[in-house]
Structure 1
Amino acid sequence: MADVRDVTYDLLRSHDLTTIFGNPGSNELPFLAGMPEDFRYVLGLHEGAVLAMADGYALARGSSALVNLHAAAGTGNALGALTNSVYSHSPLIITAGQQVRSTIGQEVMLANVDAAELPKPLVKWSCEPSCAQDVPRSISHAIHIANLPAKGPVYVSVPYDDWAQEAPEGAQHLLERKTASAGALSEAQLAELAEALDGAQHPVLVLGPEVDAEHANDDAVRLADRLGAPVWIAPSASRCPFPTRHRSFRGVLPAAVQGITDALREHDLILVVGAPVFRYHQFVPGEYLPAGARLVQLTSDPGEAARAPMGEALVGDVKDALSRLAGAVTPGLRPELPPLPERPAARTAGERLHPEELFALLREHAPEDAVYVKESTATTGAFWAQMDLSTQGSYFFPASGGLGFGLPAAVGAQLAHDERQVIGLIGDGSANYGITALWTAARYRIPVIVIILKNGTYGALRWFSKVLDAGEVPGMDVPGIDFAQIARGYGVDATSVRTGAEFTAALKSALGAGKPVLIEAETELTEP
């Protein structure tokens, strides 16, 4: 008779979860010992980096990733990174080792006290199975609930003596289970929304990360073209759901109430697709909507629909809704929008690279379908001003704003992409949160390119201190860090550059290297 461990490996294999991201401790060893040959263990040196690597892998892959953490201590180390997974709707399957069942209540060393409560409210679902025989069913439960709308991370704590117990009868049924969402707009709902869009004088589309996640970008383009409507990306953008040089593209909405109202003031119907309404950040109060405007939200997340402070919401499959809606609206009711004006020339600096110049050089020399994982918050405006993004899955940004996602996520994303080059654009303040991921990149020869935009300070915080009129604040600067030397210490080839010519040469060399490379670029301080 098979044991719990063997059945669990069979279950994971049936869901294509054969890559495990982890940093093991004693509680995890009974599960990992004798791991099947068709499984791959990706070691990270800190659980925060482990979880962010898995997140990048899941986002790039478009499906689940498996994470194995060490009890409460490892879970605690990963919680900061987990905040990004929540808001990016990453279906991470997180397991954690637990002490043997008979000792948990004694709170012995490495017992995970109230294990199922520890990751809440960040996870979509969590549990510690009531007995060893319920472990396979609980992990199956976790996999399915993580992938049903709205997707999100889940957590299962497993006492380490459970793995050797006899598997329950009927466990093989778990390997054949499938679940799928069947929620879609009714014909009446679709017709009513199409009629509203046709009847609007000045409709506008606001697209969120779920559009890109569900591969609905082309459907959004069709809808925008048929409506003759401008398109904004929802604020706090963690993905890019629309081609940035399309005639309809208007940019990313500001993450403030009044800023959004001002940007949408000329529109009478606002259709928000695949995004919360709205993810504000900077507190600039005002009217939630322009006078006389109607807002309709399309989302698969009931939570996003319920908590919005204004508008109407339809909960259902976003890709299906966009595709059907693009075919239902009447084309030609409005004049075609004019082409976008020529992009302003990238600004240059004196002794350092200006971020706009760096992004313009990337646009010129990087592959057209490159994937950018960005965590340089002070260069957001420069990035959107200069980059051309037209391919699905080309952009990832920390969805909660917490640092430490970018560098490890770039490593994980490259692990998921054999056919596309992943480029991490990481601020020097951000890089230190996930720097250990460089070791993983070197250890597994993952050919990610990491570009450190080094300005010696927390640039976004400097800008925010002006917004808040906070004056001079301590702890803003991070001078004297040699990232090229650190990278070489972890086994990654690295170089430092200060000019456009040096950056171009380093980038061209890295693109053909077939191994991880870090480029430290001295950059001018800019504001988001």
Structure 2
Amino acid sequence: MPSVRRVSHDFLERQGLTTVFGNPGSNELPFLAELPDGFRYVLGLHEGAVVGMADGYAQATGRPALVNLHAAAGSGNAMGALTNAVAARTPLVIVAGQQVRSAIGLEANLTNVDAQALMKPLVGWAAEPACAQDVPRALAQAVFEARLQRRPTCLSVPYDDWAADAGDNSLALLERRVDRALAPDPAQRRRLAELVASARRPALVLGGDVDSAGLFDDAVRLAERLGGPVWAAPSLFRLPFPNRHPLFRGVLPAGIAPVCAAFEGHDLVLVLGAPVFRYHEYLPGRYLPEGTRLLQVTEDASAAARAPVGEALVAGTGAVVGELLKALDAHGAHATHPAHDAPAEPYRPLPEPHTAEGPRLHPEEVFAALRDESPEDTAYVVESTSTASAWWRQMDLRRPGSYYFPAAGGLGFGLPGAVGVAMGSPGRPVVGVVGDGSANYGITALWTAAQHRVPLTIVLLRNGTYGALRWFGGLLGVPDAPGLDVPGLDFTRIAAGYGVPARHATGTAELRALLAEPTDGPRLVQVDTALTTPS
């Protein structure tokens, strides 16, 4: 009779979950025993880095990633990073260890008390099977729930369950398949097409889900067919549209009043693949201008339900975009959709980068160097929050999967996420752009990159302070808050200690020369930069 471990390993292999991101404790070792030859274990030195790497890997591959965490302590360490995966709607399958069944009630050391509740409400589904024989079925549910919800799930398994007999019925799980198709019905298609086709001045707002779903090029076709302006949704974690396209107006500000102001004069705002909206700064006002209608299309039922304004359609964004393109083509050249917002040039020209006084470089100089010296298909994982305006002013990103950012704003995604994206994108150049404040949250990911010889460039922007917090201090009237400076950090020495070659670039010429050098493994380039603000 097959063991629970054997059936579970076979199921994971058939589902393609053969890369395991983990940091094991004693409760997890029985699950890791006898891993089939095709499995790969990616060790992270801290659970936050483990989840960050898995998050980047799953986003880059478009498939669920398997995470193995220790019981309460290890799972607790991972929860900060988990907030980013939840906000990015990343399908992670977390398998956490638990004490043996006979010791759970005694709360023996390393027991995860009330294991299902620990990870909630972050995960979309969590369970601890009632008996060992239910473990394979529950594991299958964790995988399918992650796919269907596009949200992390968590399964707690007592470690003596893995050696138990699974029962012959468990073998039926190996043939299971669960698919989801969300297409609007004919009446919904007609209503959607009529709303969009009849708009006099439509605007388009695209969320990170557009890029996650592989709809980057389709979004360009739809925008060009509509001829109106395009914004990226606030708190952007994936870039859904070329940022120098003539119709692109940038990332919407994350405040109620400025979002309303951006939509002034538009009778319809079509939001695809984004919540309405992920506000951040408290800037109250009307949600929408007078006479503006908002229509949201999302696969995330929760996002549709909690929106404060507008109509929502819960459906596959790809199916809706396809239907809209067909409907607009059927209407022909629509007089109410002139390309009044598109300038004659196909893409906006690149500005000269700002410079800084003294020995430090302006972040724009760094980003201009990255843009010029990196291949056009480079994927950037960015966690330098105080340089956002400089980033968007200098970069020219025209391909899908070019931009990743911590979706919930939780620091610690940048370095691990870059490692995960690079592991999930073999053959594609990957650059991590990380600030000195945020780097410390996921610094142990450098060790994993060195051990696996991940081809990855980390550009470390060192300004000696938490720049975004200094900006917020000004907004909130707290200019004298303590604990905002982080002097004395030399990341070239830190990286070398983890086994990653590192250099300190002291000028633009040296930086460009270093970036132009080929690499077949990880490297870190430290650059001292002047303090800037996010906007």
Smaller-chain TM-score range?
A: over 0.9
Alignment length, in residue pairs? 525
- 2: CA distance, partners of 1:382 / 1:130: 53
- Describe how 1:201-240 pairs up with structure 2 within 5 A: 201-240=200-239
The normalised TM-score by structure 1 is 0.98
SS across alignment from 1:93? strand
Show the counterpart of 1:388.
396
- Structure 1: where are the runs of 5+ without partners? none
Matched, 1:492 2:495: no
The answer to which of 330-339 and 98-107 deviates more is 330-339
CA contact (8 A) 1:348 1:357 kept: yes
- Describe how 1:55-134 pairs up with structure 2 within 5 A: 55-134=55-134
- 2: CA distance, partners of 1:404 / 1:448: 17
Show the counterpart of 1:299.
298
1:341 Cα offset (Å): 4.5
* Residue identity in the other structure for 2:407: A
Relative to structure 1, is the Cα distance of residues 343 and 290 closer, same or farther in structure 2, using a 3 angstrom cutoff? farther
RMSD: 1.0
- 2: CA distance, partners of 1:262 / 1:428: 34
SS across alignment from 1:170? helix
Structure 1 moving runs of 4+ over 6 Å: none
1:126 Cα offset (Å): 0.2
- 1: CA distance, partners of 2:261 / 2:207: 19
SS across alignment from 1:206? strand
CA contact (8 A) 1:43 1:50 kept: yes
* Residue identity in the other structure for 2:493: Q
- Describe how 1:226-375 pairs up with structure 2 within 5 A: 226-329=225-328, 330=331, 331-333=333-335, 334-336=337-339, 337-338=342-343, 339=345, 341-350=348-357, 351-375=359-383
Q: Of 460, 467, 473, which aligns to 2:475? A: 467
**CA displacement, residues 459-480 of structure 1 (integer Å, 9 cap, x when unaligned):** 0000011111112100000011
* Residue identity in the other structure for 2:478: A
- 1: CA distance, partners of 2:303 / 2:121: 15
* Residue identity in the other structure for 2:508: G
1:200 Cα offset (Å): 1.4
- 1: CA distance, partners of 2:348 / 2:84: 35
- 2: CA distance, partners of 1:418 / 1:198: 41
Matched, 1:171 2:170: yes
CA contact (8 A) 1:414 1:448 kept: yes
- 2: CA distance, partners of 1:500 / 1:125: 49
- 2: CA distance, partners of 1:441 / 1:481: 20
1:113 Cα offset (Å): 0.5
- 2: CA distance, partners of 1:323 / 1:241: 16
CA contact (8 A) 1:238 1:396 kept: yes
CA contact (8 A) 1:226 1:332 kept: no
CA contact (8 A) 1:296 1:311 kept: yes
Show the counterpart of 2:385.
377
* Residue identity in the other structure for 1:514: D
Show the counterpart of 1:194.
193
1:137 Cα offset (Å): 0.2
SS across alignment from 2:270? strand
CA contact (8 A) 1:299 1:318 kept: yes
Show the counterpart of 1:428.
436
CA contact (8 A) 1:371 1:422 kept: yes
* Residue identity in the other structure for 1:231: V
- 2: CA distance, partners of 1:252 / 1:406: 20
- 1: CA distance, partners of 2:393 / 2:230: 16
- 1: CA distance, partners of 2:326 / 2:361: 46
**CA displacement, residues 370-416 of structure 1 (integer Å, 9 cap, x when unaligned):** 11000000011111111111111111100100100110010011011
- 1: CA distance, partners of 2:164 / 2:361: 60
* Residue identity in the other structure for 1:100: V
SS across alignment from 1:492? coil
1:286 Cα offset (Å): 0.4
- 1: CA distance, partners of 2:482 / 2:180: 50
CA contact (8 A) 2:197 2:334 kept: no
* Residue identity in the other structure for 1:188: A
Q: Of 507, 510, 526, which aligns to 1:502? A: 510
**CA displacement, residues 190-247 of structure 1 (integer Å, 9 cap, x when unaligned):** 2222222222121000000111011111111111111111100000000000111222
Q: Of 436, 449, 452, which aligns to 2:457? A: 449
SS across alignment from 1:94? strand
CA contact (8 A) 1:245 1:388 kept: yes
Percent of residue pairs bearing the same amino acid type = 57
- 2: CA distance, partners of 1:171 / 1:371: 41
The answer to which of 279-288 and 243-252 deviates more is 243-252
1:332 Cα offset (Å): 4.5
SS across alignment from 1:116? helix
- Structure 2: where are the runs of 5+ without partners? none
The normalised TM-score by structure 2 is 0.97
Show the counterpart of 1:414.
422
Show the counterpart of 2:144.
144
CA contact (8 A) 2:244 2:348 kept: no
